[in-house]
Structure 1
Amino acid sequence: MIKETCEKSYDLPIVKSLLNEKFDLVFIQPMFNECIFGLIYRMQIPFLLFTPTTIPSWVAGKVGGNFPSSITPNIMLEYPPEMSFFQRFLNLGMDTVAEVYMSLWYEPMIEKIYREKLGEDIPSVAEIYTNASLVLSNGHFSLFPPKPYFPDVIDVGGIHSRPGKPIPKDLEDFISQGKDGFILFSMGSAIKGDMMPDTKRKMILNVFSKLKQQVLWKWESETMPDLPKNVKLVKWLPQQDLLGHKNIKMFITHCGGGSTEESIYHGVPLIGIPMFADQPHNADLAKKHGFLVQLDWNSLAEENFSAAIQAILSDPKYLSNAKKISALFKDRPVDALELGVYWIE
C-alpha cells in the first residue's frame, strides 16, 4: 500500500502545487511516511517530526539517538521494561530485523520513487532524517519506561488532552435520566458500526439493557430497531468532554492512541477491545497500570462482556488506579502543549 500511495500522491496536482508554495515549518508524522521526504528536501523547508506514539527505536536511531535493545523494549513486542534474558535476546532480534528491513528494502523503495518524481539529486531517507530540527514524542515517563533521549527529543504526551467542557443539552438530559452514572462506548472512527455482525450487536445490546447505567454508543446512525431505553446512539461524540464528566463510570474502547491518552488524562477506567495497529500495545499499557479489563473481539460473548463491566463497577481498584496514573501524567512543571510550542518556536 505504501508504494502505491507514494507513487500516486506525487502525481496529484495539489501535491505538485506545493513546490510553488512558501512555508516556514513542516510537521511530519515519520512512521512509514518517509515518502514525503523528497518533497520536503526539494522545498528546502525546516521540518520537525511528531510521533503519534512514544518515539520508537528506529526513529530515534535516525536522528542520532540509540535505544539499546538490552533495556528498551521494541514497540512491536509489548515487553515489560524489566525484560528477561530471553526477552532481551528476542528484542535484539526484532530490532535487527527491523533495521535490515528498513535499510535494505523499505528505504531504497521510497528513495527510488521520490527521485523518479523530483530528481536524482535528492539524498537518502537516512540523510534527510538527520536534518530534522526537533522530535516531538507523544509519550511521557509516567506511562513508558525512561529512555536515553538526546536534547532534540521532547516528550509531549497529552498535548491534545484538556479539561472537559459542558456537553450538549440532549446528551446531558439523557445522562440525567439515570441515577447510576453512564458508560461511554466507542470503537473509534476507523471501525464502522455496520462492520459488526448482527449477532454481536444484539449480544452487546442485551448486556447494556440489563444495566442500571445509561449508555452512550458512537454509531453511524441514530436509530436501531431494538434499542433499549438506557442506550443512546450518537454519530459523533464530544469524547473529551464526556470523559471529563463527573458521572462517567467507564469507557469501552478499541484503545486507539488518542482515546487511551484522553482516558488517562481524565482518570477513567477502561474496558479495552483492541483490534489492530498500536491498539493491543495501548491496551497492554493500561492493563499493566491496573485500570483496564481487556477483552478479545473474536471471543467476545455475553458472559465475559457482562463480567468485565461488573468488574469495573464493583472493584474500586480500577478507578483508583486510573486516578493515580492521571495525577502522575498531569503532574508537570509545564503543560505538554506549552512545552511543545516553546521548542517549536
Structure 2
Amino acid sequence: MNINALYFAVLFLIPYNVTALNILGIFPYHGKSHFIVFKVYLEELAKRGHNVTVISHFPQATPQERYHDISLSGTLKSIENNLPFRKSYITVLQMGLELTTSGKDNCEVLLANKAVQNIVKEKQKFDVMVMEQFNSDCALGIAYKLQVPVVGISSHVLMPWHYNRLGVPSNPSFVSFHFTDGGTRPTLKQKLERFVLDIYFKTIYYYISQRHNQQTLAKYYDDIPPLEDLARDIKFSLLYHNFILTGSRLFPANVIEVGGFHVKEAKPLTGDLLKFVEEAEHGVIYISFGSVVKSSTMPEDKLKAILESMAEMPQRFIWKWEDQTLLMDKNKLYSSTWLPQVDILGHPKILAFLSHAGMGSTTEALYFGVPIVAMPVSGDQPSNAAAIEESGLGIQLQIEDLTKENLIAAFKTVLDSKFRDKVKLLSKAWHDRPMSPMDTAIYWTEYAARYSNLTFRTAAADLPFYEYHNLDVIAICVVLLLSIGYSFKLIIFKLCCSKMKKDKNVSEHVRKSKISKRTKRE
C-alpha cells in the first residue's frame, strides 16, 4: 500500500517539476491602482506551481508559497487619492510630464536596489520576465543582462509610445487616444487634438523618460542596446482589453487581450453596509472615482449638483468619499473612505455606477452587468468613457456638463429596464470566451518561456516610419506622375513649337511670294 502511494506521489510530482518556471516580475511604477490588477495575475502564477519573484512597491502583507517579494516600498510615495477633480488641457499636459518624470524616478529606484543588483550580478536563472508596459523601459535592460524573454503587461489601453514598437495602427480617425475623448468616432477637432498630443507625448517620453533610462542603465552596465530596439523584442504584450468593451482593434498575433482577469466573484456584504443595501426599496446607485482621483476635491457647485440629484432620486446611494464629512442623511447615503467595490457591484440591488471610468472599475462593472454613468477625469479615463458609451455599457457625462438636471437624466437613462437588459447581455457576451482571461494570460506567459528563441512580432514593428506609411511608394508615384506630366507638357510644347515654326515658315513663304508677284507686276 505504501509503495502504491509513493508511486502515485511520484507521478503527481513529475509534471509539476517539468512545468514549473522561474518567473521574474518587474513592476517599478508606484501606482497602487495598477498593481491591484497585476497582483492577482502574479499570485495565480505562484498558485499554479511557478516560482515568482516580484519587484514592486507593494509587497504581500501575507507571504505566499513560491511568491518572493523584492520590495521597493518607501522609496517613492504611492500614487493614491492625489489627483484633483478637474479636467482641462493643462491637466493633460501635466499628466505627460508627471508620467515621464516618474518613469525616470522608477528606473533610478529600481537599479539602485541592492537585491536587484544582485540578481544581475549573480546572473540568476529565469525562464521568462514579466514587466509592466507603462512609463519606463528600464526593466528591459535587466532582461537583456539576464538574457531572458520578456512578456509585457498593462492595466489599461495602450500608451502612445507603444503602438510603433508593437506594429499596431494608431490612425487618429478610428483609434481611441489614451488621454482624450472621441473614441472611435472623433470629430475633426478631436482628430487634431490627437495628432498634436500624440506628438507631444511621444516626444517627451523618448527625450525625457526613455533617454534618461538609457543613461541610468549606462551607469551600471556599459553594453545595453537602445531600449526602443529591446522593446521590439518583447515576445507578447498582454493588454487589459476586451473587444466587447473597447471594440475590434487591429492587433498583431503577439498582442493578446486579457481584460478581466483581476475580477473575482463577489463576497456577501456584511454589517451596516449589508443592512443599508438590503433595506433599499428602490435599489442602490454606487459612486466611486477610484483610488487615484480624490472626489473630496470636487468643486462646490459639482458636489451640490450630485447631492441635489441624490435628494430627488428614489434610490439610495453608496459613495467612496475620502474624508469624514457627513454629506447627507445616513438613510439616503452610505459613505466611507474605503469600500469593497467588487462585493458592492456584485449585489443584485446595485442598479447603476457613477464612475471616473478607470479600466479596473469599468471592467468590474461589466463583469457584473452594472450600467455606468462615466465621468472621466484624467489618464485613460476619457478613452474608456468613450468605449463605455460606444459599447452600450453606459453613457458619458463630462465634468463641465455636470448639473443636477443632466445627472438625473443620465441616471434615468441607465436605469431604464431596456438599457439594463442590454448591459446584462453585454456582460454575458463578455464572459463567453473559449478561455478565461486569467488562463489566457498565463498560457501566453508560459508559451513565451517554452519558445524563447522564436520571434512573434509583426513585420510592421520593424519598418521605419516612411515605409510603414508607404511614403516611399507615394513619393515614387508622385515623382512618376510629375515626370509624366512634365514629359507630356514637353511633348505638347515641342509640337506647338513645331507647328508655330511651320506656320511661320508658311507665312513667310506666302509673304515672299506676294512680294515676288508684286515686284513682277511693277
Which of 209, 213, 216 is equivalent to 2:311?
209
Aligned CA distance change for structure 1 residues 215 and 14 (closer, same or farther; 3 Å): farther
Question: Partner of 1:136 in structure 2?
Answer: 238
Question: Would you say the 8 A contact 1:57–1:74 is kept in 2?
Answer: no
Q: Deviations over 1:156-197 (max 9, x none)?
A: 111222433322233221111221111111111112344234
Asked if 2 retains the 8 angstrom alpha-carbon contact of 1:137 and 1:157, the reply is yes
Amino acid at match of 2:417: P
Give the conservation status (yes or no) of the 8 Å contact 1:178–1:212: no
When structure 1 is superposed on structure 2, of 179-188 and 204-213 the one drifting more is 204-213
CA distance 1:335–1:41, shift in 2 (3 Å): same
How far, CA to CA, are the matches of 2:224 and 2:243 in structure 1? 37
| 1:164-183 map, 5 Å | 164-183=266-285
Q: For 1:332, give the aligned amino acid.
A: R
Counterpart AA for 2:152: L
One-letter amino acid of the counterpart of residue 267, structure 1: G
Task: Give the residue type in structure 1 aligned to 2:235.
Answer: S
In structure 2, give the amino acid aligned to 1:333.
Answer: P
Instruction: Check if 1:46 corresponds to 2:145.
Output: no
Residue by residue, what CA displacement relative to the aligned partner does 1:124-146 show, whole Å, maximum 9, x if unpaired?
11222133232111112223343
Residue 208 to residue 37, structure 1, CA distance change in 2 (3 Å): same
- Aligned counterpart, 1:111: 214
Q: Which amino acid aligns with 1:238?
A: P
- Alpha-carbon distance in structure 2 between the residues aligned to 1:275 and 1:61: 27
Q: Which residue of 1 aligns with 2:376?
A: 274
Using the alignment, how far apart are the partners of 1:222 and 1:25 within structure 2?
46
Give 5+ residue unaligned stretches, structure 1: none
Give matches, 1:281-320, under 5 Å.
Answer: 281-313=383-415, 315-320=416-421
Alpha-carbon contact 1:69-1:88 (below 8 Å) kept: no
Q: CA deviation at 1:91?
A: 6.9
| AA matched with 2:434 | P
Query: Following the alignment from structure 2 to structure 1, what is the Cα–Cα distance between the partners of residues 190 and 318?
Result: 41
Aligned letter for 1:321? K
Count of aligned pairs = 342
Where 1:258 maps in the other structure, the secondary structure is helix
Corresponding position: 1:250 with 2:385: no
Q: Distance in 2 between matches of 1:75 and 1:36?
A: 25
**Residues 47, 301 of structure 1: alpha-carbon distance in 2 compared, 3 angstrom cutoff:** same
CA offsets per residue over residues 10-62 of structure 1, 9 Å max, x none?
33556545545665433212122213322333344432101223446742532
Matched residue SS, 2:322:
coil
Q: CA separation of 1:317/1:288 partners in 2, compared to 1, >3 Å: closer, same or farther?
A: farther
Contact 1:55 1:138 in 2 (8 A): no
Q: Secondary structure at the match of 1:142?
A: helix
- Are the equivalent residues in 1 in contact too, given 2:376–2:398 (CA < 8 A)? yes
CA offset digits 1:84-136 (Å, max 9, x no partner): 999889877876776666556653332122212x2221111122213323211
Amino acid at match of 1:163: E
Mapped contact 1:252–1:270 kept (Cα < 8 A): yes
Residues 203 and 143 of structure 1, relative CA distance in 2, 3 Å threshold: closer
Match of 1:341 in 2: 442
Q: In 2, are the aligned partners of 1:57 and 1:67 still within 8 Å (CA)?
A: no
1:330 correspondence with 2:431: yes
Matches within 5 A, 1:255-266: 255-266=357-368
Q: Supply the distance in 2 between the matched residues of 1:251 and 1:294 (Cα, whole angstroms).
A: 12
Does the C-alpha gap of structure 1 residues 187 and 80 become closer, same or farther in structure 2, counting only changes over 3 Å?
A: closer
2 CA distance for matches of 1:322 and 1:143? 11
Q: Are residues 231 and 22 of structure 1, via their aligned partners in 2, closer, same or farther at CA, if it must alter by over 3 Å?
A: farther
Match status 1:120 vs 2:234: no
Q: Partners of 1:89 and 1:202 in 2: how far apart?
A: 35
Which stretch of structure 1 is more off in the superposition, 34-43 or 118-127?
34-43
- Which stretch of structure 1 is more off in the superposition, 44-53 or 104-113? 104-113
1:186 counterpart (288, 294, 298)? 288
How high is the TM-score relative to the length of structure 2?
0.58
State the structure with more CA Rg: 2
Secondary structure of the residue that 2:256 maps to in structure 1?
Answer: strand
Q: 2:138 aligns with which of 23, 30, 35?
A: 35
Which residue type is aligned with residue 320 of structure 1? D
Structure 2 gap ranges (5+): 1-100, 447-522
The amino acid that maps onto 1:208 is: M
Identify if the C-alpha distance between structure 1 residues 114 and 306 changes in structure 2 by more than 3 Å, giving closer, same or farther. same
Decide which moves more: 1-10 or 44-53: 1-10
1:10 equivalent to 2:111? Answer yes
> Do 1:56 and 1:74's aligned partners in 2 also have CA atoms closer than 8 Å?
no
For the residue of structure 2 that corresponds to 1:48, the secondary structure is: strand
Aligned to 1:150: 252
> Is contact 2:285-2:317 (8 Å) kept?
yes
Mapped partners of 1:145, 1:212: distance in 2: 34
Please tell me whether the aligned partners of residues 185 and 218 of structure 1 are also in contact (alpha carbons under 8 angstroms): yes
Distance, in Å, in 2 between the alignment partners of 1:206 and 1:161 is: 33
- How far off is 1:333 after superposition? 1.3
Change (3 A) 1:342 1:169: same
Identity of aligned residues (%): 28
DSSP 3-state at the match of 2:213: helix
Deviation at 1:257, TM superposition (A): 0.7
Instruction: Indicate if the aligned counterparts of 1:270 and 1:293 stay in contact, CA closer than 8 A.
Output: yes
Name the CA shift for 1:39/1:335 in 2 (closer, same or farther; >3 Å): same
The one-letter code sitting in structure 2 at the alignment partner of 1:334 is M
> Partners in 2 of 1:223 and 1:161 — Cα distance?
30
**Counterpart secondary structure, 1:217:** strand
